[in-house]
Structure 1
Amino acid sequence: MGELATGAPAVALLGVLGLLVGSFLNVVIHRLPKMMERQWAAECAELQGKANETETPTARYNLVVPRSACPHCGHVIHWYENIPVLSYLALRGRCSQCHAGIGLRYPTVEVATGLLFAWVGWRWGFTFTGLAWCGFAAAVVALACIDWDTTLLPDDITLPLLWAGIVAAALGLTSTRLPEAVWGAVGGYLSLWLIYWGFKLLTGKEGMGYGDFKLFAAFGAWFGWPALVPIILMASVIGAVIGIGIKLVGRLREGGYVPFGPFLALGGLTAMVFGPAAILAAVGL
């Protein structure tokens, strides 16, 4: 549908686009939680009647401004220091001014997004369907990293992702029929909601957050309700393997809590790449 390029050109074009989008996702992953914190602080101040008190105005902070800078020395990053992957390699993973280390997360997100976009180009070509799945992949990568860092799954991403899945189904951009997408969203949300409350009633603890419900609902919208079981199964397997590995190396965070969102995200990406049926076949179901 709406083919702009296929084959190797589509893979190359979307692969490069993925690298660029991955660079932007690094900004989203870092800044969006901070933007949410600022918004919460402003809302709390307003509720406490402190919004009109004389305070030093805070500088604008969003996904565009201020320009990216080294967190150690404040050096503003020039465009040629921000070329995906290549700049990291040229700088040898260090700031050009203070030589502080740059986290490996940055090129990893860029490469991962580039590979996912390239795969989409191979599978669907540079088409409207391909672009829709590129958007899906970018949103899921951002959500996985944000949840891992902060245990938050922002509504600013999960809810548009959910609605985008329903709209994509309505426009025929996915193989999911609209009724399957709608019931997939309903089933995805309610299934984890019921598990959450069942676990809380039995243990008095919260096993997951509401963001997980919304993310699973989004997957239901994109893949349809029949895909919910294989996705949650894959997420659980990935979570168990990684969780055990983290525990063995003694790197569990305080409280021993590991967010479920990143594993759910990996389950969704696995379903995109291999298909829900292949997941069931891989585990003998």
Structure 2
Amino acid sequence: MPEGLWLQIAMGGAFGLLIGSFLNVVIYRLPKMMEREWAAGCAEISGQELAAQEAFNLFVPRSRCQQCGHQIRWYENIPVLSYLALRGKCSACATPISMRYPLVELVTGALFAWCLWRWGWSWTAAAWCVFVAVLVALTLIDWDTTLLPDDLTLPLLWLGLIAAALGFSSIPLSDAVWGAVAGYMSLWLIYWAFKLATGKEGMGFGDFKLFAALGAWFGWQALVPIILMASVIGAIVGIAMKLRSSLREGGVVPFGPFLSMAGLTAMLFGPQAILRVVGL
């Protein structure tokens, strides 16, 4: 492998670590920002006044310990290294810090490095790095809250169409458009068939939009492999959680994380590789 490519891969991985650190902020704060918006909307409709609150978005206030309120200093926020130096504990109150934080950074860094190895220093690699970052965030937000925010799914859909139009995703724009249409409509029809048959909602509208986004990135031909892999992974995880009695109230297992995992698998190995794995 050329020496210059190694440098590109290392730079991509390092940048991915930084983006992973930011994704941890997005995963934690975006649902809370949505809750604030909903509360403000409800208050406006009902004519009530909300108490003044401090600014809260992806950039302010500064990150702090959720237990003691200690503000995280810059040198305590270096991806992975700070976690190791602090031994996974808050420097002020010694409250354990979830290992998920460095894992998100490592996974994002590894996937960014892979994109640079696969496509080199190019706009195509940049496009797929954005794809990776959004799916990592959506996976954990949906797992935590059963929400797939439009602020992430809709830009991912449009970026998939733009990537196809500019030749970054190696599929024709027509395949991307029909992939988005088929992705949305297929789950929409399943949703209504299930609701009419049982009176229950089997999935949320965010799943339709995420599947549409994956169709835009990979084309309509990839939808069957992606939904097969997502269903298999979801079934395995759901059964395991049921056996361990770890299902959340109502027995809900969000489907978005498994769609995201299938999308990342399709990026790494190609949609057809998924069919070979499941024997088709």
- What TM-score does the superposition give when structure 1 sets the normalisation length? 0.96
Q: Deviations over 1:191-222 (max 9, x none)?
A: 00000001111111111000000000000000
The residue number in structure 1 matching 2:164 is: 169
- Residues 1:17 and 2:15 are matched in the alignment: yes
Q: Does 1:179 find its partner at 2:177?
A: no
Count of aligned residue pairs for this structure pair? 278
Q: CA deviation at 1:255?
A: 1.0
Q: Which residue of 1 aligns with 2:67?
A: 72
Amino acid at match of 1:44: C
State the Cα distance separating 1:284 from its structure 2 match.
1.7
Question: Matches of 1:207 and 1:28 in 2, distance apart?
Answer: 27
| Contact residue 139 and residue 157 of structure 1 kept, 8 A | yes
Task: Give the 5 Å matches for 1:150-169.
Answer: 150-169=145-164
Q: Deviation per CA, 1:202-250, whole angstroms, max 9, x where unpaired? A: 1111110000000000000000000000000010111111111111222
Task: Tell me the CA shift for residue 56 of structure 1.
Answer: 3.6
Write out per-residue CA displacement over residues 109-128 of structure 1, whole angstroms, 9 at most, x where no aligned residue: 11110111111111111211
Give yes or no for the alignment of 1:85 onto 2:77.
Answer: no
Q: What's the offset of the Cα at 1:6?
A: 6.1
1:67-146 matches, within 5 Å, as: 67-146=62-141
Paired residue secondary structure (2:89)? coil
Any unmatched runs of 5+ in structure 1?
Answer: none
**Distance in 1 separating the partners of 2:250 and 2:131:** 32
Give the letter for the 2:34 counterpart.
Answer: M
Distance 2:36 2:14 in 1: 33
Asked if 2 retains the 8 angstrom alpha-carbon contact of 1:231 and 1:276, the reply is yes
Of 157-166 and 119-128, deviating more is: 119-128
In the aligned structure 1, how far is the partner of 2:176 from the partner of 2:4?
27
1:38–1:238 Cα change, 3 Å? same
What is the aligned partner in structure 1 of residue 144 from structure 2?
149
Q: Using a 3 Å threshold, how does the CA distance of structure 1 residues 267 and 6 change in structure 2: closer, same or farther?
A: farther
In the alignment, which residue of structure 2 is the partner of 1:44? Answer: 42
Instruction: Confirm whether residue 225 of structure 1 aligns to residue 220 of structure 2.
Output: yes
Please state if 1:284 is matched with 2:279. Answer: yes
User: Counterpart amino acid of 2:42?
Assistant: C
| Structure with more contact order per residue of length (Cα contacts < 8 Å, sep ≥ 6) | 1
Runs (4+) of structure 1 exceeding 2 A deviation are: none
The residue type paired with residue 155 of structure 1 is D
Deviation at 1:88, TM superposition (A): 0.4
Normalising by structure 2, what TM-score?
Answer: 0.97
Counterpart pick for 1:26 among 24, 27, 47:
24
- Structure 2: distance between partners of 1:21 and 1:159: 20
Q: Is 1:236 aligned to residue 234 of structure 2? A: no
Is the Cα contact below 8 Å between 1:6 and 1:126 reproduced in 2?
no
**Deviation for aligned residue 1:174:** 1.0
Residue 180 of structure 1 aligns to a residue whose secondary structure is helix
